[in-house]
């Protein structure tokens, strides 16, 4: 299994190297950067680091940043030599990396993003008619308890009132996610779902794992082949292919909207129990730590992070300003419950069981 994971990761990193070369070319003419830092990042941050405005803002502070992409949980298979930082998509894999590499706490956490479910209007309306969601124009709230009960019962779209008029709503009702053994968003989906299935308590021991494992396995096994990253899953949704319900980061939706793009009949569903993905820098070198702190505090970089859909830590006025025209789809003030995330050890075991490993 490690050999297979290594091959997959190598393919991902080859793509990341190409992106890094391109990003490097973009910074050649800035003339101000003095330090080059290299890192491995989650794919959902690739566009942020490739943005010419971000490149310019970093150069103004004396940095050229070159990045490669990887699944957050797959980062622990990397040799840290040659990297200044790792930048996974949540605190759990970051803490694991920090312990492995002997990195001192606290770790910089520049920004975060809640997990959301994107749907087209027809699918969202069917969920509303059947008591699985509430809707308010282009956004709504997904009732996780009701959804998990439907999934546990093996409900299909055809079982739901109002689905017959939508030809694309066929087969089992499920939310499409990434592979929880390698991807952060897929693992955090299990964290939120298991919390609900465990009566609102974080899964913390073998008994909790045994209790929730059958449902977690059901949520993953019905999906068949899973996308390796939320970036690929969101691209498929935007192009009109794939499952009617797709788990993504809110930042991906917000970035699309702030760029002036649109998706036909888009509805953003915030699970009433969700997980906030804290994008956390694991500094391997002093330069990596300085970069993480700069991303957290520099006003221009915080503004650009918000423009890419991320919520800067602290009083995120930048996110409010960046999304002011898109409240039809986005909750500026989050009113949903944030579930605690199990320890890395428990989350790994949950993901393995969910995948039938």
Other beta carbons within 10 angstroms of residue 181's beta carbon come to 21
Q: Would you say residue 44 lies in a domain?
A: yes
Query: Total domain count for the chain?
Result: 2
Other beta carbons within 10 angstroms of residue 316's beta carbon come to 18
Residues 72 and 180 in one domain: no
State residue 113 phi and psi, 5-degree precision: -155, 130
Q: pLDDT tens digits, the chain, 357 residues: what are they? A: 433 344 333 433 334 433 443 344 333 444 466 899 999 998 889 999 999 999 999 999 999 999 999 888 888 888 888 899 999 988 888 999 999 999 998 999 999 999 999 999 999 999 999 999 999 989 999 999 999 999 999 999 999 999 999 999 999 999 999 999 988 899 999 999 999 999 999 999 999 999 999 999 999 999 988 888 888 889 899 988 879 999 999 999 999 999 888 787 899 999 999 999 999 999 999 999 999 999 999 999 999 999 999 999 987 799 999 999 999 999 999 999 999 999 989 999 999 999 988
Residues 28 and 139 in one domain: no
Q: Quote the CA–CA distance of 233 and 178 in Å, as a whole number.
A: 8
Residues 181 and 293 in one domain: no
Residues 79 and 215 in one domain: no
Query: CA nearest 42: which of 80, 94, 81?
Result: 94
Residues 215 and 268 in one domain: yes
Residues 90 and 193 in one domain: no
Tokens of 165: 């008029």
Q: pLDDT by residue (tens digit) across 301-354?
A: 999 999 999 999 987 799 999 999 999 999 999 999 999 999 989 999 999 999
Q: Would you say residue 160 lies in a domain?
A: yes
Q: Would you say residue 330 lies in a domain?
A: no
Q: Would you say residue 46 lies in a domain?
A: yes
CA–CA distances in Å: residue 72 to residues 97, 252, 298: 10, 17, 25
Tokens 């990193």: give the residue: 13
In this prediction the pTM is 0.86
Residues 107 and 6 in one domain: yes
Q: pLDDT by residue (tens digit) across 233-244?
A: 898 999 888 799
Contact 49, 103 (CB under 8 A): no
Q: Would you say residue 125 lies in a domain?
A: yes
Other beta carbons within 10 angstroms of residue 18's beta carbon come to 11
Tokens 């974080």: give the residue: 202
Q: List the domain range (segments joined by +) for residue 32.
A: 2-112+279-325
For every residue of the chain, which 3-state class applies, written as one string?
CHHHHHHHHHHHHHHHHHHHHHHHHHCCCCCCCCEEEEEEECHHHHHHHHCHHHHHHHHHCCEEEEEEECCCHHHHHCCCCCCCEEECCCHHHHHHHHHHHCCCCCCCCCEEEEEEEEEEHHHHHHHHHCCCEEEECCEEEECHHHHHHHHHCCCEHHHCCCHHHCCCCCCECCCECECCCCCHHHHHHHHHHHHHHCCCCCCCCHHHHHHHHHHHHHHHHCCCCCECCHHHHHHHHHCCCCCCEEEEEHHHHHHHHHCCCCCCCEEEEEECEECEEEECCEECCHHHHHHHHHHHHCHHHHHHHHHCCCEECCCCHHHHHHCHHHCCCCCCCCCCEECCCCCHHHHHHHHHHHCCC
Q: Quote the CA–CA distance of 109 and 88 in Å, as a whole number.
A: 10
Residues 267 and 195 in one domain: yes
Q: Would you say residue 264 lies in a domain?
A: yes
Q: Which CATH number is 216's domain given?
A: 3.40.190.10
Residues 218 and 292 in one domain: no
Q: Would you say residue 284 lies in a domain?
A: yes
Tokens of 260: 């002036």
Q: Would you say residue 55 lies in a domain?
A: yes
Residues 105 and 153 in one domain: no
Residues 141 and 243 in one domain: yes
Residues 201 and 91 in one domain: no
């Amino acid at each position: 299994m490690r050999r297979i994971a290594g091959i997959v990761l190598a393919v991902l990193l080859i793509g990341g190297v190409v992106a890094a070369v391109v990003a490097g070319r973009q910074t050649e003419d800035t003339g101000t950067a003095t330090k080059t830092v290299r890192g491995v990042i989650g794919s959902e941050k690739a566009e942020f680091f490739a943005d010419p405005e971000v490149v310019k803002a970093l150069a103004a502070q004396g940095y050229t940043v070159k990045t490669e992409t990887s699944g957050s949980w797959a980062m622990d298979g990397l040799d840290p030599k040659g990297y200044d930082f790792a930048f996974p998509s949540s605190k759990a894999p970051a803490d694991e990396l920090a312990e492995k590499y002997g990195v001192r706490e606290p770790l910089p956490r520049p920004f975060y993003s809640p997990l959301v479910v994107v749907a087209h209007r027809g699918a969202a309306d069917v969920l509303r008619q059947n008591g699985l969601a509430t809707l308010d124009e282009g956004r709504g709230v997904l009732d996780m308890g009701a959804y998990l009960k439907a999934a546990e019962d093996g409900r299909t779209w055809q079982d739901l009132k109002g689905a017959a008029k939508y030809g694309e709503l066929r087969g089992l009702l499920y939310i499409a996610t990434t592979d929880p053994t390698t991807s952060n968003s897929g693992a955090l989906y299990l964290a939120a779902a298991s919390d609900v299935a465990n009566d609102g308590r974080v899964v913390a021991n073998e008994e909790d794992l045994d209790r929730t494992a059958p449902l977690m396995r059901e949520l993953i096994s019905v999906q068949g082949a899973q996308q390796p990253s939320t970036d690929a899953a969101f691209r498929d949704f935007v192009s009109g292919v794939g499952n009617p319900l797709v788990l993504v980061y809110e930042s991906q939706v917000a970035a699309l909207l702030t760029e002036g793009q649109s998706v036909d009949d888009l509805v953003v569903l915030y699970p009433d129990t969700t997980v906030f993905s804290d994008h956390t820098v694991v500094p391997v070198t002093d330069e990596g730590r300085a970069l993480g702190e700069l991303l957290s505090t520099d006003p221009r970089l915080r503004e650009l992070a918000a423009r890419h859909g991320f919520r800067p830590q602290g009083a995120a006025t930048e996110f409010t300003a960046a999304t002011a025209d898109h409240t039809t789809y986005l909750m500026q003030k989050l009113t949903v419950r944030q579930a605690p995330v199990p320890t890395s050890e428990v989350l790994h075991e949950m993901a393995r069981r969910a995948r039938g490993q």
